[in-house]
Every structure is written in C-alpha cells, then in structure tokens.
Amino acid sequence: MTTLDATDPMPPSTIAVGAQLEMPLPQTFATVEEERMHRKVTLAAAFRMFSKAGLDEGVAGHVTARDPEHTDSYWVNPFGMHFGLIKQSDLVRVDHAGNVVEGNRAVNGAAVAIHCAVHAARPDVIAAAHAHGPYGKTLSSLPQGIEMLTQDSCAFYNDFGVHESFSGVVLDAEEGDKIGRALGTKKAVILRNHGMLTVGHSVESAAWWFLTLERTSQSQLMAHAAGTPIVIDDANAEATYGTVGGEFAGWFQFQPIWQKISKDNPDIWD
C-alpha cells in the first residue's frame, strides 16, 4: 500500500562513481500482516523520536498510520500514554467514524476529530502527524507562514496550507473537516494559534516532515529575531524542492532515525 513515487529523485549526496553501492530502499511485504506490523513498529519509533525531540507536551499530540488491510481505519496512540513508552502493541485502531475497533484504550478526542477527517479526505495518505512543538505552535501564531529561508524549508515550497480559524480544542467533526480542506493536496498545514500537521505516503515521511517543519519553524523565528532574513527566490526554491521535497526524500531522511531508535529501543516490537 505504500505509494512512494519511484520517479522521485534520490536524496542529495547519493551519486557516486564505482562498484555497486548500497543504500536503504522502501521495503516490500509478502503479506498484509507483515506490512501492518511494519507500520505499527515504525509508528512506535516515530513516537519515540517525538519524545526525544521534545515534541511531547502532556497529553497533546498524535500520529496515525492507516491500516493496510482495513484502509478506512488507522492506528493511533492511546490517550494519556507518554510518547517515550509507546510500543506497537499499545496502539489503538480507530475507524473513520471515530469508533475504536481494535484495542481497549481511550483515544484523544482531538485525534479522532482531526485524523478521521484527514484520512477520509486523503486516501493517498498513509500517516499524519500532529504535536504541540514549541516552535511550530509559536510560528502558527504569526501571519507569515513558512518562508523559504533555508534549503530545508524548501521541502515545503508551495506545499503547505493554512487553517486560519482557531475555535478552541478540535473536538468536533466539522472542525476536522475544515482542517482537511485547508490541507488540501499539500504535505503540511499550519493550524492557526495551535500548531502544525504533516502527512505522508509512509509513516516515515510523515514523521520526518513534522520534525523538519518544527526545526524550520525554529530557524525562521531565530532568523527574524536576529535581523532581516534573505529569502530564497522562487526558481531556486522550486529546484531545491525537487530534491528535498519528494516522498522518497522524506522516507529516506527518516532512515538514520529509524536505525538509531530501533537499536536503542528494541521494546517497540513488543
């Protein structure tokens, strides 16, 4: 079910001359059970990454992964469980109507309202990530959006939407639908006065987009605090997006994180 585009360019610094060279590539799966386990374990690793990156804040935040068999449902973290403790067996499966269909733990109402709408509106999306990172939520309170100030920010060139209205904690389906419409076909959406949300055609890319968007927000805020930033022109931003903004690039950027977390946290398979 993973729909990484085989035509995406390779990430930077992968071209070399010589004998056969090895690099990580997306997995293929013999059975839907294998693919489900991969998504759940990777989702657990993404939560560990969020915790290590300081992207957890109380009970706020959720990352979801569409089930490869029951595609009208997704796996999500239990409500009130620390990101740094989540294992694949802790995850809960919820359908598009917001019903828990597998697992016995409560789910954050905001996760249901936001992610049900996003997954229903975007059948191409495998995973969606949202958390209250300090820099993303700060940038969400400012009017300028994501500016093309750095190479990394170009991953979001013409690839983010804005949900302009803040009406409190997102707990109803109508507000979730508005977020889905603001996201549109993009990979990210700014939730005004709230934070950021990213999506991907794999758990890996959705998680990476969120991490790099949080760091991009930090960089932008620092640049404006220090002086008047120089903005990358449209032609160069678009060209850079072609290298760093594709689905394969997002998947690939997560691989070093996966290598480290899976080695240091073998309990994610439990």
For residues 168 and 149, give the distance between their C-alpha atoms in angstroms, rounded to a whole number: 31
Contact assessment for residue 76 and residue 47, using Cβ atoms and an 8 Å cutoff: no
Q: What is the pLDDT of residue 20?
A: 74
For residues 172 and 141, give the distance between their C-alpha atoms in angstroms, rounded to a whole number: 22
Query: Which CATH superfamily is 36-269 part of?
Result: Class II aldolase/adducin N-terminal domain (3.40.225.10)
CB neighbour list of residue 7: distance below 8 Å, 6 or more residues apart: none
For the packed helices 32-52 and 203-226, what is the interaxial angle rounded to 10 degrees?
20
Q: What is the pLDDT of residue 6?
A: 42
Nearest residue to 131 via CA among 59, 62, 75, 58:
62
Q: What is the pLDDT of residue 111?
A: 79
Q: Which parts of the chain register pLDDT below 70?
A: 1-19, 168-173
Q: What is the pLDDT of residue 176?
A: 78
Report the C-alpha dihedral over residues 208, 4, 97, 197, rounded to 10 degrees. Answer: 30
DSSP 78-125: PTT--GGG--GGG-EEEETTS-EEE-SS---HHHHHHHHHHHHH-TT-
H or E segment and range at residue 249:
helix 247-264
pTM of the model: 0.92
> What strands, in cross-sheet order, belong to the sheet with 100-102?
100-102, 92-95, 73-76, 62-66, 127-131, 195-200, 188-191, 160-163
Q: What is the pLDDT of residue 7?
A: 47
For the packed helices 247-264 and 32-52, what is the interaxial angle rounded to 10 degrees?
80
Question: Which of helix, strand or coil describes residue 52?
Answer: helix
Q: What is the pLDDT of residue 222?
A: 98
